Amino acid sequence: MTPSSVLTLHYSLFTVFHMSELSELYQQVILDHNKKPRNFRKLETANHSAEGFNPLCGDQLTVYLNLEDGAVKEISFEGSGCAISKAAASMMTQAVKGKSKQEAEQLFKEFHGMVTGELDEETTSNGLGNLKIFSGVREFPVRVKCASLPWHTMHAALNNQEIVSTE
């Protein structure tokens, strides 16, 4: 990564979160996943896939998954977008891999509820775990779409919808 792209990344994160709104640790996790996204590749064995677009920010990705016996055996993504969308996609693939379709759909509901403010992740039992670092985006409506796009796209892939848009 060139020094100027590091600067741009820090600048874009700074405009999303003020230091008091997202701890430095959480920023580090998001920066790390943006820089080294997990499961970032085309999945040759995929039997489901979907494309997602967020025209407001320019995020776009394809989610590939291999669903076998009702479970997500493998999942990956490709695409480009802001740090939030890329980190959210990376962490989504880690969270969903190995889960049953129902568990993946439940996690989608919980994540969506958290970032839209419909679910209080601190008082309602949920399986979000480290995905809670994205709770801060609910203060920023534009960023809610960045964080939820990978989840909408995963949901679409599970349900054989091919293209989703947040608009």
Separation between Cα atoms, residue 50 and residue 159, nearest integer Å = 9
**What is d(CA 102, CA 110) in angstroms, rounded to the nearest whole number?**
12
Q: What x-and-dash track marks residues 77-116 binding Zn ion by CB under 5 A? A: -----x--x-------------------------------
| Residue 67 Cβ vs Zn ion, minimum distance, rounded to whole Å | 27
Single out the segment in contact with Zn ion by CB under 5 A; choices: 27-35, 112-120, 123-131, 140-148: 140-148
In the complex, minimum distance from the CB of residue 74 to Zn ion, in angstroms, rounded to a whole number: 25
Contact status, residue 151 vs residue 92, Cβ threshold 8 Å? yes
Distance CA 22, CA 13 (A): 10
Asked if residues 132 and 79 have their Cβ atoms less than 8 Å apart, the reply is no
Only one of the segments 16-24, 55-63, 67-75, 125-133 lies at the binding site for Zn ion (rule: CB under 5 A); that segment is 55-63
3-state DSSP assignment of residue 60: strand
Which residues make Cβ contacts (< 8 Å) with residue 107, sequence separation at least 6?
Answer: 95, 96, 99, 127, 128, 131
Which candidate, 48, 40, 30, 36, places its Cα nearest to that of 134?
Answer: 30
Instruction: Say whether residue 56 binds Zn ion (CB under 5 A).
Output: no
Of the candidates 43, 72, 146, 147, which one interacts with Zn ion according to CB under 5 A? 146
57 binds Zn ion (CB under 5 A): yes
71 binds Zn ion (CB under 5 A): no
Does 134 engage in binding with Zn ion (CB under 5 A)?
Answer: no
Give the nearer residue to Zn ion in terms of CB position, either 80 or 102: 80
Confirm or reject binding of residue 74 to Zn ion (CB under 5 A).
Answer: no
Smaller CB distance to Zn ion: residue 65 or 82? 82
Q: Which residues bind Zn ion (CB under 5 A)?
A: 57, 59, 82, 85, 146
